[in-house]
């Protein structure tokens, strides 16, 4: 979803001010090796939906969370 959408702004504001109740939706072995932690995906349905009436489902992966924790390297 583009960041210019009101739904994106609404969700980002929600995440900053309250705890979102993510649900685990999928888990798999890490393709990068057996010694690596499992890859876990969580989902959240935005009950307000889109302006056009569509469901909005947000997803979060454990790999993305780990990447976000790393310091930014040179571009």
Q: What is the pLDDT along the chain (75 residues), one digit of tens a residue?
A: 899 999 999 999 999 999 999 999 999 999 889 899 999 999 999 999 999 999 999 999 998 888 888 887 665
One-character DSSP codes across 7-68: HHHHHHHHHHHS----EEEEEE--TT-TTSPPEEEEEEEETT--TTS--EEEEEEHHHHHHH
pLDDT in the model for residue 75: 56
**Can you give the pLDDT at residue 60?**
93
Question: What's the pTM?
Answer: 0.75
């Amino acid at each position: 979803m583009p960041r210019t959408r009101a739904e994106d702004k609404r969700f980002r504001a929600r995440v900053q001010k309250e705890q979102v109740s993510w649900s685990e939706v999928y888990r798999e072995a890490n393709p990068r090796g057996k010694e690596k932690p499992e890859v876990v995906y969580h989902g959240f349905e935005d009950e307000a939906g889109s302006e056009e009436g569509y469901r909005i489902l947000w997803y979060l992966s454990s790999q993305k969370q780990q990447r976000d924790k790393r310091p930014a390297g040179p571009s």
